[in-house]
Amino acid sequence: MNKFKDKSWNFERYDTQNCVHNLHSYPAMLTPSMVKRILNEYSKASDIIMDPYVGSGTVIVEAMRYGNKAVYGFDLNSLALLIAKVKSTRVRKNNLHLNLKSVLRRYKHYQSKNLVFNNIPDRTKIEYWYSKNIIKDLSRLKRAIELIENKNQRDFFNVILANVALDASYKRPNEFKMYRMTEKNMSLHKPDVISLFSSKASINIKRITNYFNMLSNHSEVHIKKHDSTKRTTLKDGIIDLIISSPPYGDSSTTVAYGQFSKLGSLWLDYPEIIGLDRSLLGGKKLVEKTLPPSMILNRLIRKLERKDETRANSVGSFFNDFWVSACEFNRVLKPGGKAIFVVGNRNVLGFPIPTDEILSEMFTKMGYIHDKTIIRDIPSKKMPRFIRNRTTNMNKIPLMNQEYIIFLTKGRGN
C-alpha cells in the first residue's frame, strides 16, 4: 500500500482565529489549509465538489474561496448545518451592525423590566446546566434575536446565541462531551451573557465581511440535512471531487457531535438534537451480520468478538453504515472523479482499527484506484489529547494525533 508520512501536510502555523472558519467551534474540524491545498492540487474552477459529512462547513468555505462552480454539503446535525449556512451566506455589513444595536437595545429593555419569555427549553434539564439568572438572560437574548425580520441576518445572530449558550453554561470548557464543572468552578462561573454576545458579534461581523470581501468568484452552494446512508436527489455522476472527513467511529465511543451541539441546539429549538448521536454513523444496533467487503475488517471483527461481542457489533455497525454511504458516493461521483477522505485510526479493546486501510479496501473493491495515503500530524486539531476513561473517570486514553488523507480515483469503467 502506498502510504507515507509527509510533513508538508502538517500546517502548523495556520491561524483560524481571525477567519470565518472560527464563527463557531466544532469537533474534529478539517484543517482549512489542508482543504485549500487539496482543492488547489486536485480541482478545477469548473468542478462540482461534495462533502457528505460537512459539519461546520470547512470544505464549503474553501471551495467558495477557490471559486469552484458548485459545492454540496450534507449533514444530520442542524446546528452544524446552520453554522455552515451562515459562513457561506453573504449578508450586509451595515444591517448586521444595525441589527446588533437593536438586539442590545431590546435586551436592555427586557432586563430593566425583568421580563422573561416563554421560550426557555425544557426547564428541568436546562437548570442542570445554567444558573437561574443565566437562563433569564438567555431567554431575553433569544427573544431579542427572534425579532430580527431578515432570516439570513437572524441566522447570523443565532449562531452567536448558540455559542454564548455554550460558554455561559456549566459545561466544562475544552471538552466536547457533556461534563459539568466541579461545584467549586460552578460557584466561580459568572458569565456576562450580553457582553459575551456583543464581543462575539463584533468579531464575527469582521470575520464574515473580510471573507466575502476576499471572494472573487461566485460558487453555487447547496447545504442540506441528509443522512449519508440514504440516497440523495443528486443525479448519477455529477460530482467531480468528494472531500470529506467522516466520523472516527460511533458517537458513544468517539466524538459525540450531538452532545457538543446539545445546549446551542436546545436554545435554537432543534428538538431532533435529542438522540442525534444514535442516528449518526454507527449509532444503530447491527441487525445484519454481513460485513462490508474488507478482509481487514472481517478479521478484526472476529478478533473483537472473542473479547466483547457488543463492542465488535458497534465497530461492525459503523463500517456497515459507511459502506452503504460509500455506495451512494460512488453513484454520484463521475468516472475518473476523485474521492479524498481524511480519517483517524483509533483503538478498540486494545486493537488498532486501521480505518484508512479498511476504507481504501472497500473502495478498491468498487473498482477505485488507491493513489496514496498521506499520514499527517495534527498539531492544532480541535480535539482533546486524551479522553476520559469511563471506569476510572481519569483523562487516560490517548486520542489520535495523526490523521490519514486517503486519495482515491474512480475507475473510468465504473
Ligand X SMILES: C[S@@+](CC[C@H](N)C(=O)[O-])C[C@H]1O[C@@H](n2cnc3c(N)ncnc32)[C@H](O)[C@@H]1O
326 binds ligand X, rule: CB under 6 A: no
30 binds ligand X, rule: CB under 6 A: yes
Among 19, 39, 80, 194, binds ligand X (CB under 6 A): 80
Eight-state DSSP code of residue 374: E
Among 10, 43, 56, 254, binds ligand X (CB under 6 A): 56
CB of 233 to ligand X, least distance (A): 15
277 binds ligand X, rule: CB under 6 A: no
CA 53 to chain centre: 7
User: Hey, what long-range contacts does 29-35 have (CB within 8 A, 24 or more apart)?
Assistant: 29/55, 29/56, 29/58, 29/381, 29/382, 30/55, 30/58, 30/59, 30/245, 30/342, 31/58, 31/378, 31/380, 31/381, 32/58, 32/61, 32/62, 34/9, 34/342, 34/376, 34/405, 35/59, 35/62, 35/243
CB of 62 to ligand X, least distance (A): 10
264 binds ligand X, rule: CB under 6 A: no
Per DSSP, the three-state class of 333 is: strand
Among 10, 58, 68, 158, binds ligand X (CB under 6 A): 58
CB of 275 to ligand X, least distance (A): 13
Among 228, 254, 259, 265, binds ligand X (CB under 6 A): 228
Closer to ligand X by CB, 47 or 75: give it. 75
Stretch that binds ligand X, among 4-12, 128-136, 227-235, 360-368 (CB under 6 A): 227-235
Among 34, 280, 340, 374, binds ligand X (CB under 6 A): 280
Q: What is the spatial distance between Cα 302 and Cα 306, in angstroms, rounded to a whole number?
A: 7
281 binds ligand X, rule: CB under 6 A: yes
Among 20, 29, 86, 304, binds ligand X (CB under 6 A): 29
Closer to ligand X by CB, 144 or 282: give it. 282
Closer to ligand X by CB, 134 or 276: give it. 276
250 binds ligand X, rule: CB under 6 A: no
Q: What is the spatial distance between Cα 403 and Cα 393, in angstroms, rounded to a whole number?
A: 26
Stretch that binds ligand X, among 50-58, 108-116, 175-183, 358-366 (CB under 6 A): 50-58
Stretch that binds ligand X, among 26-34, 96-104, 173-181, 231-239 (CB under 6 A): 26-34
Q: What is the spatial distance between Cα 365 and Cα 346, in angstroms, rounded to a whole number?
A: 23
Closer to ligand X by CB, 53 or 130: give it. 53
20 binds ligand X, rule: CB under 6 A: no
Using DSSP, how many helices (H) and how many strands (E) does the chain show? 14, 12
Length of the chain, in residues: 414
Taken in order 29, 32, 38, 39, is the CA torsion positive or negative? positive
Q: How many residues bind ligand X (CB under 6 A)?
A: 21
Stretch that binds ligand X, among 27-35, 110-118, 162-170, 371-379 (CB under 6 A): 27-35
Complete DSSP assignment for 131-173: -HHHHHHHHHHHHHHHT--SHHHHHHHHHHHHHHHHHTSSBPT
Binding site for ligand X (CB under 6 A): 26, 28-30, 53, 55-56, 58, 74-77, 80, 227-229, 245, 247, 257, 280-281
